[in-house]
Structure 1
């Protein structure tokens, strides 16, 4: 049976997270972690079983170091992820678990579309949850010196789940230790997990109700505004002040409406709601109005393209039509993007790492330079901008 959340978390808080030395002998590291666990109040016999037989997983280290450069545009990425099969299965699951989604809406104010979208993208509705041994993955990353302060507390959380009977030592998941249909780390499961099927446990690998309600609770704790929209397709006028677009500017829906922005289908939400107009591929591509709940999604995943695609897919699952792709200017090549970032940095802009990725900092810098040069400031880098710089 699950312990009260306060008690479970107090055990985690007592652990000297990150105190075990990273690197060195893996066997010695396991002994140190086991001693820390017992000192923090974990059951000695459970700790001995949990750490005994654990193995370092070289595949996890290779996966951690091989994370690729993420350069797909919104249109390319969304077309790759949003298949007819995912739409059909999403609507089928919406009907199958209608009562659970109604509870998520009632208790947390989170709409079924968002929950279905993340369920689909994370694991194809539970079909592909990862095949890495979770205990070994967490211990491998906790021992590695890149991010031990993140993963050593996750090891202690996994141990607590094991003591609760909610974590099997043969549990498998993603290479970074995420578990279950909506891919949550052990500490998040302890803090935000919900027993949706009433069996007294939170089992995200096998229980769709647990996964759905745990995801809803997570979004609620991250700041989701109950029963509020997150994204809507819009049509923007040709004469819009493009410098006002992007996540850096937030006006009311009524303000945007006065500037000629209108819903592509249906009506815009109430006029007092804060909103930004988002042009993922510039003024010639698709256009969306996004609301405060859209920004909450970045707490789940940091990628702009991933979040925007998930938010859009959620609207499709709730009946919205496909977006109008328009005819955006071509994406710069990797070499061109890196050249652009170097030139922006030379002009004093903070673009972060010169990696060829159009992230938030690069978008902001592009928009400022477009405005300075008298170009349409829609934050989409073009060959023309690169030549002007």
Structure 2
């Protein structure tokens, strides 16, 4: 299984200047290569190299840096073509699709640049790297990371690493190939996970991750952005830029904590995890104007992806189930009625009289569906009787 480990570089003033110059130089070169690729109908990488490699070398890029720049451009056009084919940019003739196809792809001045082992070497004991730049090879560029991240780098790093600049800070994002634990083929049951906005995640084991703190934080950030945007001064714009991506990092940290808690419980009890398949929910539901910001800020997909890769790493089986009627069905008698859901937090069955928290009830239904999906999948893998 591939995971990425990000380390923060700690260059001195001269090293930071060289790294910044390099990032801007390779992305300017990528923009020139992109123009050539667009004018020539996006040829294959080998043909594109024939038209641009000599120019990149003359501009001061090293051999490997030039190769990676050309490959980066070609990969960007491959991604664009795949998005067009999948319909992610709209139908033929739509404004968004025409805009994407009518001009060459542009790379930001601080876009990531890939490095391989010929132009980047790691010294794990010293926590330093030696890296190519347009100013020459930089040695003893120190980096900072956690002890666990360093151990992962030392044991499993494989392939390319990306140099990234964010708000004047440099990072190296390394690819690591981590072996997966064998999946538990005979789980003792499934932990149902009900995802929501008021409660981010509620499990059938009784764990509930309340969303009040995160929602309050998002509301504060929204109000602050509105005030700064209304102010419009240079200092306000500078503060907006400084605070960029802060909410994303906070949300990701919350989702990491929640997913780790759920995976740890499943691993300890020998059970699997059942998640609701909520893909397309934003297009299905209709909400009032004041509710839409909460829906679009809901990061259920990120939490699901964190659970998925952590489950693969731990060997915990994970299945997705249809969320239909999980909030209306009684987990004790199976009766389905819209009126069973009294309000957001209360579930009262009209048939058997069971009274419980609505999210707890839904999580038990999700867990039961997960067992059915897992059993059906196992039966489908059994060879037919001759």
Structure that is richer in strand per residue: 2
TM-score, normalization by structure 2? 0.29
TM-score, normalization by structure 1? 0.29
Larger C-alpha radius of gyration, 1 or 2?
Answer: 2
